[in-house]
Copies of this chain bind each other. A is one copy, B any other.
């Protein structure tokens, strides 16, 4: 059991790379991952799980094929399983992702933005 709380700001200060989630905690078989985003990610979906984004700094857009949802600091959004989406941030945005252990950032799409999994901050 940890002796101290997990300080998200201090964990964010340990890395700079965009689109490269870093695990900060596990709860049962779920992981909490910090991510820094800027620019546009790739269209993808996760067939087996919902995915949560909670924005800690800045704002992001979660694009769906028929519309987009803006998620600002202090807001969260649940992307339903199997729904194709893309994430975008015109300025750097920091978010906490919550999803089961093992989920790959690019889902079923793959490609060069696919990040190493289970990398801890």
Contacts and interface: CB of A to CB of B under 8 A. Distances in A.
Interface in A28-72: 28, 30, 32, 49-52, 54-56, 64, 67, 69-72
A1 interface: yes
A2 B75 contact: no
A3 interface: yes
A78 interface: yes
A78 B54 CA distance: 17
A44 B75 CA distance: 30
> Which interface class (under 10, 10 to 19, 20 to 34, 35 or more) fits A?
35 or more
Each complex incorporates copies of this chain amounting to 2
A74 B1 contact: no
B52 A1 contact: no
A67 B70 CA distance: 41
Nearest to A56: B74
Closest 7 pairs (CB-CB, A-B): A5-B75, A5-B71, A27-B50, A5-B77, A27-B52, A7-B75, A6-B76
